[in-house]
């Protein structure tokens, strides 16, 4: 009999689910808002050709534009959140498709605006901003528009580019449907064969932390093989996603997909290459960790399914309520307001969809928009790893909360580059708090294992994916084929370098790792920002924990800034310069210290 510990969606008590009724009370109201937005589009289009009539007309447009985008985001949010927790819910899937189509319609409708502002001229925009108080808030928006003007096309072309976004989402959606709904994973089994365990996106992590090596092996192989069964379809979808990035880059006159990804947030391309260079120079730290694991586990050969095997016999149980309290205590250096908002969101206001259920999509995320509170999806499993994930997503949510509270909607969204700093900052503070207050050897080992697991994902797997992503895009730009065998071989080669001689590689299964990422690799050069984020977060956390004067205030100002500053500028003000390799090198020093501590505790 299979141990089916994963409940259906209907079996999850309401208090452990997020409150999407706070967005719309029911699908009826959601449908009404969707219809209302459609009906507004002709009046929105009526602004075309009129933005240069006067400063007052421009101010009216910018207010109307922001209100439309807030409403549109709420429509997308409701549909997406509902579908994310039960990908077998076809009504929710249909609403998600409707929202996606409407978003493309809205994008096409408003596409005239930026070309029209460019035609008006930036000298005029600066003059109007200085003479009319209602336009002063848009200084950064106008500056960014001028900076991006070489890549904004005519109104006709912009409308066409907006229209293609709906069909362009098909590739990512196809990959997501296969990953979240279609794959049936074989059960894992215990060493004695007496137990079998259901393998899902929500249970995989816990199974890979099992002390039973056969459970780990069979769970890992089941998960890898489930994806490999669809490798050709998934590779075709990912190839389409990469080619779409190349198309967008060329349509907007960039020299490469990488430049197209880094130019909008004003990130120099050197930042990406600095990360990869530092990562490759420090692979020996990872090799030392794999060697430590092999010794402690007492195995002749270390395999990928051993990477999360427990290094101590005692399992640390952390119920959700305890996790929230420890996170609040860890974040105390940021002040009472920060902590009280976080605690209410996690315990009273139902920001979080907490536990795994069948059909729930993989991973964890924070999402929301102005006019709502943040929402977090995760699959909490009562362990230190879930606590860390919760801290990470609450970092995103608090960043969003303060941004939306402080900034107009046009600046409410911050860049991904900044986002991953805030999330990893929370993990760094909470981890430091627990290392100082939980002194038992078992807890210390568990904390360090969590730290290494977190770094493994963000400071090992993500740079690997970033290198993979760069190679795929460069091959697509040269017109070379992107097939499943090509992707598997490339991914296996990269991981072989990363694991060195310390881990025995299963080339086919490890080479299929790209297939596990149905979202990240469809967001043009997203993944490198996890590694820059953990680097920036570590530097800012050190300043706060060391009591550096003004560090707390500058960090909170960074959270409140939202998208009103370029991310490198906002982070430089907060206290870290991510345009240089130094923070990445410093993060590797922290990683090496964790390995030192584990060696002292275990060898």
Instruction: Give, in degrees to the nearest 5, the angle at Cα 200 between 195 and 202.
Output: 110
Same domain, 178 and 148: no
Residue 200 is predicted with a pLDDT of 87
In the 8-state DSSP scheme, what is residue 366?
Answer: E
Domain presence at residue 506: yes
Domain presence at residue 513: yes
Residue 5 has pLDDT above 90, yes or no: no
For the chain, report the end-to-end CA distance as a whole number of angstroms.
Answer: 39
Domain count, the chain: 2
Domain presence at residue 76: yes
Residue 17 has pLDDT above 50, yes or no: yes
Domain presence at residue 349: no
Q: Read out DSSP for 163-223?
A: HTHHHHTHHHHHHHHIIIII--PPPEE-TTSS-EE---TTTHHHHHT-S-HHHHHHHHHHH
Residue 202 has pLDDT above 80, yes or no: no
Q: End of a domain among 168, 189, 219?
A: 168
pLDDT band, very low/low/confident/very high, at 85 (cuts 50, 70, 90): very high
72-76, 342-346, 523-527: segment of lowest average pLDDT: 523-527
Query: What is the rounded average pLDDT of the residues 249-255?
Result: 96
pLDDT digits (tens, 9 = 90+) for 280-292: 999 999 999 999 9
Mean pLDDT, all residues of the chain: 95
pLDDT digits (tens, 9 = 90+) for 492-550: 999 999 999 999 999 999 999 999 998 889 999 999 999 999 999 999 999 999 999 99
Same domain, 112 and 238: no
Same domain, 443 and 579: yes
Same domain, 33 and 155: yes
CATH of the domain at 81: 1.20.140.70
Enclosing H/E stretch for 568:
helix 567-574
Query: What is the rounded average pLDDT of the residues 471-494?
Result: 98
pLDDT digits (tens, 9 = 90+) for 29-51: 999 999 999 999 999 999 999 99
Residue 37 is predicted with a pLDDT of 98
Residue 224 is predicted with a pLDDT of 98
- Give the C-alpha distances (Å, rounded to integers) separating 117 from 126, 148, 252, 543: 11, 12, 17, 42
Residue 314 has pLDDT above 70, yes or no: yes
Domain presence at residue 495: yes
Same domain, 63 and 94: yes
175-179, 393-397, 473-477, 580-584: segment of lowest average pLDDT: 175-179
Residue owning tokens 């005239």: 112
Same domain, 107 and 230: no
Same domain, 559 and 548: yes
Order of strands across the sheet that contains 352-353: 352-353, 375-377, 365-367
Domain presence at residue 192: yes
pTM for the structure as a whole:
0.89
Residue 2 has pLDDT above 60, yes or no: no
Give the integer Cα–Cα distance in Å for 508 and 251. Answer: 36
Query: What is the rounded average pLDDT of the residues 55-82?
Result: 97
Residue 543 is predicted with a pLDDT of 97
Q: How many helices (H) and strands (E) does the chain have?
A: 27, 6
| Dihedral sign for Cα atoms in the order 242, 246, 252, 258 | positive
Reduce the DSSP state of residue 331 to 3 states and report it. Answer: coil
Domain presence at residue 354: no
Spot the catalytic one: 304, 393, 449, 471.
393
Query: What is the rounded average pLDDT of the residues 371-389?
Result: 94
Same domain, 25 and 50: yes
**Residues above pLDDT 90, as percent of the chain:** 89
Query: What is the rounded average pLDDT of the residues 576-596?
Result: 96
CATH of the domain at 187: 1.10.1370.20
Three-state secondary structure readout of 436-458: HHCCCHHHHHHHHHHHHHHHHHH
Q: Are 188 and 196 in contact (CB under 8 A)?
A: yes
Residue 312 is predicted with a pLDDT of 83
Query: What is the rounded average pLDDT of the residues 157-175?
Result: 89
Residue 155 is predicted with a pLDDT of 83
Of 1, 13, 15, the closest CA to residue 352 belongs to: 15
Residue 1 is predicted with a pLDDT of 40
Same domain, 454 and 589: yes
Reduce the DSSP state of residue 375 to 3 states and report it. Answer: strand
2-6, 89-93, 221-225, 553-557: segment of lowest average pLDDT: 2-6
Domain presence at residue 327: no
Q: End of a domain among 168, 199, 220?
A: 168
Query: What is the rounded average pLDDT of the residues 119-124?
Result: 95
Q: End of a domain among 145, 168, 191?
A: 168
Residue 105 is predicted with a pLDDT of 93
Reduce the DSSP state of residue 34 to 3 states and report it. Answer: helix
Same domain, 163 and 177: no
Same domain, 23 and 128: yes
Query: What is the rounded average pLDDT of the residues 198-209?
Result: 87
What residues make up the domain containing 113? 2-168
Same domain, 452 and 575: yes
Residue owning tokens 């870290």: 576
Active site residue 15: no
Residue 595 has pLDDT above 50, yes or no: yes
């Amino acid at each position: 009999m299979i141990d089916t510990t994963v409940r259906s969606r209907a079996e999850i008590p309401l208090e452990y689910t997020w409150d999407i009724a706070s967005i719309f009370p029911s699908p009826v109201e959601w449908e009404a808002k969707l219809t209302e937005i459609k009906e507004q589009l002709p009046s929105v289009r009526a602004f075309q050709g009129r933005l240069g009539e006067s400063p007052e007309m421009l101010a009216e447009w910018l207010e109307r534009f922001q209100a439309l985008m807030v409403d549109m985001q709420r429509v997308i949010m409701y549909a997406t959140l509902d579908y994310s927790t039960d990908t077998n819910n076809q009504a929710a899937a249909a609403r998600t498709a409707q929202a996606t189509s409407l978003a493309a319609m809205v994008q096409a409708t408003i596409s005239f605006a930026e070309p029209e502002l460019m035609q008006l001229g930036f000298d005029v925009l600066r003059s109007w901003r200085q003479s009319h108080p209602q336009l002063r808030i848009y200084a950064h928006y106008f500056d960014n528009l001028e900076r991006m003007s070489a890549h904004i096309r005519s109104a006709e072309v912009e409308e066409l580019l907006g229209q293609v976004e709906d069909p362009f989402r098909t590739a990512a959606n196809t990959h997501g449907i296969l990953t979240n709904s279609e794959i049936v994973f074989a059960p894992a089994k215990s060493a004695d064969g007496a137990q079998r365990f259901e393998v899902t996106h929500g249970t995989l992590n816990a199974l890979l932390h099992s002390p039973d090596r056969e459970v780990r092996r069979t769970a890992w192989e089941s998960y890898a093989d489930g994806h490999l069964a669809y490798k050709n379809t998934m590779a075709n979808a990912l190839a389409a996603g990469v080619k779409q990035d190349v198309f967008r880059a060329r349509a907007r006159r960039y020299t490469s997909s990488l430049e197209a990804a880094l130019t909008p947030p004003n990130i120099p391309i050197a930042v990406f290459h600095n990360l990869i260079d530092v990562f490759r120079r420090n692979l020996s730290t990872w090799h030392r960790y794999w060697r430590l694991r092999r010794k402690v586990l007492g195995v002749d050969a270390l395999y990928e399914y051993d990477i999360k095997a427990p290094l101590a016999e005692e399992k640390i149980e952390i119920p959700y309520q305890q996790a929230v309290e420890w996170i609040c205590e860890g974040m105390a250096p940021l002040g009472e307001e920060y902590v009280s908002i976080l605690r209410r969101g996690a315990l009273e206001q139902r920001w979080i969809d907490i536990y795994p259920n069948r059909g729930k999509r993989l991973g964890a995320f924070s999402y929301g928009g102005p006019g709502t509170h943040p929402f977090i999806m995760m699959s909490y499993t009562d362990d230190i790893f879930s606590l860390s994930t919760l801290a990470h997503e609450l970092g995103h949510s608090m960043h969003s909360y303060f941004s939306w509270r402080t900034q107009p909607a046009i600046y409410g969204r911050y860049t991904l580059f900044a986002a991953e700093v805030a999330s990893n900052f929370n993990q760094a503070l909470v981890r430091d708090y627990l290392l100082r207050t939980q002194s038992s050897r078992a807890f210390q080992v568990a904390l360090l294992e969590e730290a290494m697991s977190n770094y493994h994902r963000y400071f090992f797997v993500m740079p690997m994916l970033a290198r993979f992503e760069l190679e795929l895009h460069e091959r697509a730009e040269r017109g070379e084929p992107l097939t499943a065998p090509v992707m598997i071989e490339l991914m296996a080669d990269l991981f072989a370098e990363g694991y060195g001689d310390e881990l025995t590689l299963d080339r086919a299964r490890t080479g299929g790792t790209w297939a596990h990422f149905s979202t990240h690799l469809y967001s043009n050069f997203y993944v490198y920002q996890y590694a820059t984020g953990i680097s920036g977060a570590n530097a800012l956390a050190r300043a706060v924990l060391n009591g550096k004067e003004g560090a707390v205030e500058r960090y909170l100002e960074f959270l409140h800034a939202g998208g009103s500053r370029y991310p490198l500028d906002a982070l430089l003000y907060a206290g870290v310069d991510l345009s240089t390799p130094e923070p990445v090198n410093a993060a590797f020093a922290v990683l090496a210290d964790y390995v030192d501590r584990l060696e002292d505790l275990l060898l």
